Amino acid sequence: LAISVADQVLMLQYSIYSVISPEGCASILWKTSEKAQEAADAMGITAHRLKALGLIDKIVNEPVGGAHRDTRQMGAFLKRALNDAWRQLSDLKTRELLDRRYERLQSYGRYTDTKADAR
């Protein structure tokens, strides 16, 4: 999360956000990279999962087949997303930006207590 100290965090539609690959995680946890999909699911590293958790602000759509299939179109999508973010932030005062960043960081790791099943 240290690399997401920002006013807005954007993520490409088909990208992953993690300090370790699913294969690396599976190798550590289960001593085999064959459980990479299970590790990826547990890690919650996809754009849609991170958006649902409130860790990113916007998912930037990619061209059909992924960003690498049409770099010009991807550039246009990214330019639009960055311009939108700039418009949303450019009128805010420094103090408001700093306060919003602080609140954002404080919100990471929130949890809800649940009651244990009576057995």
Residues 5-32: what's their mean pLDDT? 93
DSSP single-letter state for residue 8? -
Q: Which two structure tokens, joined as six digits, stand for 82?
A: 């960055």
Query: How would residue 119 be classed by pLDDT, with cut points 50, 70 and 90?
Result: low
Residue 117 placed within a domain: no
Residue 85 placed within a domain: yes
Residue 7 placed within a domain: yes
10 Å CB burial of residue 47 (0-12, 13-18, 19+) is buried
DSSP single-letter state for residue 99? H
Percent of the chain whose predicted confidence (pLDDT) is above 70: 94
Residue 27 placed within a domain: yes
pLDDT at 68 (0 to 100)? 97
pLDDT at 86 (0 to 100)? 97
Which residues span the domain enclosing 17? 2-107
Question: At how many degrees (to 10) do helices 22-30 and 36-43 cross?
Answer: 110
Query: How would residue 73 be classed by pLDDT, with cut points 50, 70 and 90?
Result: very high
How many domains are there within the chain? 1
Residue 116 placed within a domain: no
Residue 92 placed within a domain: yes
Residue 12 placed within a domain: yes
Tally of residues, the chain? 119
10 Å CB burial of residue 23 (0-12, 13-18, 19+) is middle
Grouping H, G, I as helix, E, B as strand and the rest as coil, residue 76 is helix
pLDDT at 114 (0 to 100)? 75
- The number of beta carbons lying within 10 Å of the beta carbon of residue 17 is 19
- 94-110, pLDDT tens digit by residue? 999 999 999 988 888 76
